[in-house]
Structure 1
Amino acid sequence: MTLSDLAARAAGEIRDAVAAIDPAALQGMVEELAQARRIVCYGVGREGLMMRALAMRLYHMGLDAHVVGDMSCPPVGPGDLLVVSAGPGGFSTVEGLIGVARKAGARVACVTAQPQGPAPRAADRVFLIPAQTMANDQGAAATSVLPMGSLFEGAQYLAFELLILSLRDHLGVTPEAMRARHTNLE
């Protein structure tokens, strides 16, 4: 398979995963984010990188957005939203943070490919991205040309950008306002 063939297959897989997202679930996430007083994002590994990218875009939208583990991350409480990523359905750190957030009165949204996992079952809102993760990357279940959980992570990136476009429209934020919040320290 040529590089061009691999790229086309990988891009098609990401496109198909994002196209399979329930529009009502995307709209539910838009509303959840728009209503939150403060938003804190968390994920492990490469999913964590996608959650950091989402937090950055939420900040560009003018929302009070943070990443768990950053020194400037505030506590969560009533009116706040913890957005976690658990592609395979659960991670011990994600489940622990869900417990802390819920005890503090915050709502929880979980981005996942495995909605029956412990993390999405403990969340108030589930945002399902139907894509291969490390929960199903071996044997007959493995269908992606991409390794391990890369399909889910790539689909997260695209889904989050589309989520931001919908949120931008919902909140009436202009592209110019987003750009004005971009750092000048690069």
Structure 2
Amino acid sequence: MNKTQVSDCEDVLLSMKMIVENLNDVIDKLDIEAIKAMLQKIINSDRVFVMGAGRSGLVAKAFGMRLMHLGFSVYVVGETTTPAVRPKDVVIAISGSGETRSIADLGKIVKDIGSTLITVTSKKESTLGKISDIAMVLPSKSKNDHDAGGYLEKSMRGEYRNIPPLGTSFEITSMVFLDSIIAEMITLTGASEAELKARHTNIE
């Protein structure tokens, strides 16, 4: 990589503003009934499993960690200690496009088992969106949107110079949304800050 002189960081500020604007736009479009249904399923579940690929997988893990802090039995799909999924379990998939092959294939298996599948996605009519019991739609840009519109070519031409790369908008939006779900669950369960801290890992 060639050494580059740092400019006035205009793109940093513009990108942050774009992310905030996208969040505000998503808030106005949220399906409250879908949120209620999602909360109801999670709270009444035997166990919760979370899954996602790449950065969406990291968002899923972060959500799973907070559910653990709330006292839920929660597992990350793909980890070596994750048990078999059962019909009374809830599986939450995070996928911006709803078409990530590995996650979509796992979603089909979840439905074959008879478990509840909740998908957080930007595409309701995607493979995952269509088969999910609850499709929580966050209408953000996914990496597939950029690819379909010639993202790399437009970036080289300077047309996308202020847009965060690939699926960043969805990943940030889903992280904020799921942390907000946790906030609502803290209220619903009456959990205290002390209870959450008591479940935090102490062998780091």
Task: Say yes or no: TM over 0.5.
Answer: yes
* Structure 1 ranges of 4+ moved more than 4 A: 140-144
Counterpart in the other structure of 2:13: 4
Counterpart in the other structure of 2:26: 17
Counterpart residue identity of residue 86, structure 1: S
Q: CA deviation at 1:53?
A: 0.6
Which range moved further: 71-80 or 170-179? 170-179
Counterpart in the other structure of 2:4: none
Counterpart in the other structure of 1:27: 36
Q: CA RMSD in A?
A: 2.1
Query: What's the TM-score, normalizing by structure 1?
Result: 0.91
**Residue among 172, 193, 196 paired with 1:175:** 193
Q: Count residues with an aligned counterpart.
A: 186
Residue deviations 1:66-117 (CA, integer Å, cap 9, x gap): 1011111111112101111121121221122122222222111111100001
Q: CA deviation at 1:159?
A: 0.3
Q: CA deviation at 1:148?
A: 1.2
1:93 aligns with 2:94: no
Counterpart in the other structure of 1:55: 64
Hey, what's the Cα distance between the residues in 1 that align with 2:122 and 2:15?
A: 23
Counterpart residue identity of residue 47, structure 2: R
Counterpart residue identity of residue 49, structure 1: L
1:123 aligns with 2:132: yes
Counterpart residue identity of residue 43, structure 1: G
Between the two proteins, what is the percent identity of the paired residues?
24
**Residue among 146, 153, 157 paired with 2:171:** 153
Hey, what's the Cα distance between the residues in 2 that align with 1:60 and 1:19?
A: 29
Superposed counterparts of 1:132-147, under 5 Å: 132-138=141-147, 139=149, 145-147=163-165
Counterpart residue identity of residue 29, structure 1: M
Hey, what's the Cα distance between the residues in 1 that align with 2:15 and 2:94?
A: 27
Is the contact between residue 86 and residue 112 of structure 1 (CA under 8 Å) also seen in structure 2? yes
**Residue among 36, 44, 48 paired with 2:45:** 36
Q: CA deviation at 1:173?
A: 1.6
Q: Which has the higher contact order (CA 8 A, sep 6+)?
A: 1
Is the contact between residue 94 and residue 119 of structure 2 (CA under 8 Å) also seen in structure 1? yes
Q: CA deviation at 1:8?
A: 2.7
Which range moved further: 88-97 or 56-65? 88-97
Is the contact between residue 18 and residue 158 of structure 1 (CA under 8 Å) also seen in structure 2? no
Is the contact between residue 47 and residue 153 of structure 1 (CA under 8 Å) also seen in structure 2? yes
Q: Please, which runs of 5 or more residues in structure 1 have no aligned partner?
A: none
Q: Please, which runs of 5 or more residues in structure 2 have no aligned partner?
A: 1-9, 155-159
- Secondary structure in 2 matching 1:84: strand
Counterpart in the other structure of 2:111: 102
Is the contact between residue 131 and residue 152 of structure 1 (CA under 8 Å) also seen in structure 2? yes
Residue deviations 1:16-49 (CA, integer Å, cap 9, x gap): 3344322222222111110110111100111111
Q: CA deviation at 1:2?
A: 5.0
Is the contact between residue 98 and residue 104 of structure 2 (CA under 8 Å) also seen in structure 1? no
Which range moved further: 91-100 or 5-14? 5-14
Higher alpha-carbon Rg: 2
Counterpart residue identity of residue 169, structure 1: T
